[in-house]
Amino acid sequence: MVHGSLIILFQYGGYGLEVVLLVALLRGGYARTLAPLVVFVGAMLGVDAIIRPATLLTYGLHSRQYYYTYWLTEVLLIFAAFLLVCAFFRRAFRLRDQEMWSFVRPILLMILLMVLAVTSVDFRQHYRDLFTTNYIWEFNQNLCFTCLVLNTVLYLLLQRLKGTEAQLQLLVCGLGIQFAGPTANSALVHLTRNSHAMVMFFTYFSPICGLAMLGVWLYAVAHKGSEHSGGLIAGRRGLAVPVQRPA
């Protein structure tokens, strides 16, 4: 009963934070200046509050349809997060350090093309095993780790860049929490050979990281808003995870 209550709390807490964050972004005038973030938060809200719950209610937790929907949308969100990190790179260096941006831009493009190429080849080779083994989960973790490395590099570069916005640093830190928590926990699950304790810890820890990311982002947006008004100076998601493959 406690487990179910916590899952519901994480689920609706995530919905609430996503809605509040999206409203704060739109009301704060960030639809143009932080358009990639607005699109990403909107995509998260659409997946978490509409697509997955609708599929879960229609077909059930152990259905093939929910299993497919959950993990495919998870992969798409990871790709969207990868593009968001690239957008943060662009925001950080395009105007402040043109030389650095000229160096970083082709590297990001090369990484993006490599990820797309490897993904295409990987999917073609494992198409039949996509949902019949743990491949989709492992593929998702590999993508998440790639984003974590790229986001960490961005954070380290920001520390050396003069005049970096505090808001951008908070946005990058929030995304790092989302990537680092589940990645570290999945490594523990592997090391402990899928022990029940680690699996249960992952069940709680992953949505907590998602809530922390949304909280940091909301603070960054609200803090910036108060700065403009002359005041201060300056997935995670709780839906049930289909861990057992449908028959």
* Per-residue buried b or exposed e for 31-43, using 16+ beta carbons within 10 Å of the residue's own CB: eeebebbbebbeb
d(CA 124, CA 97): 40
Highest mean pLDDT among 112-126, 162-176, 223-237: 162-176
> Higher-confidence residue: 196 or 51?
51
Q: What is the pLDDT of residue 139?
A: 76
Average pLDDT rounded to a whole number, residues 116-130: 72
Q: What is the pLDDT of residue 14?
A: 87
Distance of CA 174 to the CA centre of its chain: 9
- At 162-189, the pLDDT tens digits run 767 889 999 999 999 988 877 776 676 6
Contacts of 192 (CB under 8 A, 6+ apart): 198
> Higher-confidence residue: 196 or 20?
20
Q: What is the pTM of this model?
A: 0.82
d(CA 247, CA 229): 57
Q: What is the pLDDT of residue 244?
A: 60
- At 129-144, the pLDDT tens digits run 665 556 777 777 778 8
Domains by residue range for the chain, with CATH = 2-228 (1.20.1070)
d(CA 199, CA 205): 10
d(CA 232, CA 123): 49
Predicted confidence band at 247 (pLDDT cuts at 50, 70, 90)? low
